Amino acid sequence: DIQMTQSPSTLSASVGDRVTITCRASQSISSWLAWYQQKPGKAPKLLIYKASSLESGVPSRFSGSGSGTEFTLTISSLQPDDFATYYCQQYNSYSGLTFGGGTKVEIK
Amino acid sequence: EVQLVESGGGLVKPGGSLRLSCAASGFTFSNAWMSWVRQAPGKGLEWVGRIKSKTDGGTTDYAAPVKGRFTISRDDSKNTLYLQMNSLKTEDTAVYYCTTDAIPRGYCSSTSCYTPFDYWGQGTLVTVSS
């Protein structure tokens, strides 16, 4: 299986901050990477697919970049609604669709 | 509006069985590829398995930890997805989510498609404990 490693595991930030989360794959996945946001007690929500494509209805302050083995999710100006846990997911193959361990964005 | 509503979760002893259901509405269920994703308490997300639409063969794929114990099926006449879980282990304790495979956002090889998940249910909790 392809292993996905996110960093940091926890991030403390203030409203208005620029936030960057990194996801690394154990082997190349081209651009087949998605990002999700999950709030406590709720299902995950798809934010980004194909590394940099914004899902319909997702605010433009969210952006994704990267290819191969290194990817980033950036929130350009953190809003109160953005405090949540974020997961990356590779979908390069069904040898195992795998998720990263998550990054919790907390209020500083 | 797309809706996915899971049911059937509960407390079961190790070695026992449980069947989860997912009632779908708001889209053409028979055309959809569907997956189950689980989340152990306080942990990350884990893909469990997937079933293709009958038009695309209706075949299934499973993650290694559940292969041979879990079976995914569908009843298109009832717009319902199922997850039959047998030989349950304590490590199967999790919230189980029903999801739709976002085919247009993935990529397809000659044999299959690999996708993110665009719609999710609210989840149902399965607790395996003696």
State the nearest Cα–Cα gap between A34 and chain B, in angstroms: 6
For residue A6, the chain B residue with the least C-alpha distance is: B44
d(C-alpha A18, C-alpha A15), whole Å: 9
A55 near B CB under 8 A: yes
How much is the average pLDDT of A41-55?
A: 98
How much is the average pLDDT of A70-98?
A: 92
What is the residue whose two structure tokens read 């846990």?
A: A85
B57 near A CB under 8 A: no
Judge whether residue A95 has pLDDT over 80.
Answer: no
| Ranges of residues in chain B whose predicted pLDDT is under 70 | none
State the nearest Cα–Cα gap between B77 and chain A, in angstroms: 26
d(C-alpha A21, C-alpha A64), whole Å: 10
d(C-alpha B75, C-alpha B123), whole Å: 19
Residues 6 or more apart in contact with residue B27 via CB below 8 angstroms? B2, B100, B119
Task: Look at residue A9 in the predicted model and tell me its pLDDT.
Answer: 97
Residue A61's H or E segment, with its range, is: none
Judge whether residue A92 has pLDDT over 70.
Answer: yes
Residue of A97, A99, A103 for testing the chain B interface, max B β-carbons within 10 Å: A97
For residue A55, the chain B residue with the least C-alpha distance is: B118
Residue of A5, A48, A91 for testing the chain B interface, max B β-carbons within 10 Å: A91
- Chain A residue numbers with beta carbons less than 8 Å from the beta carbon of B116 are 34, 46, 49, 89, 91
CB atoms inside a 10 Å sphere around CB A94: 18
Task: Look at residue B45 in the predicted model and tell me its pLDDT.
Answer: 98
**Long-range Cβ contact pairs of A40-49 (< 8 A, separation 24 or more):** A42/B122, A43/B97, A43/B120, A43/B121, A43/B122, A43/B123, A44/A87, A44/B45, A44/B97, A44/B117, A44/B120, A45/B120, A46/B102, A46/B105, A46/B116, A46/B117, A46/B118, A47/A73, A47/A86, A48/A73, A49/B102, A49/B105, A49/B106, A49/B116
Task: Look at residue A64 in the predicted model and tell me its pLDDT.
Answer: 98
d(C-alpha B75, C-alpha B72), whole Å: 11
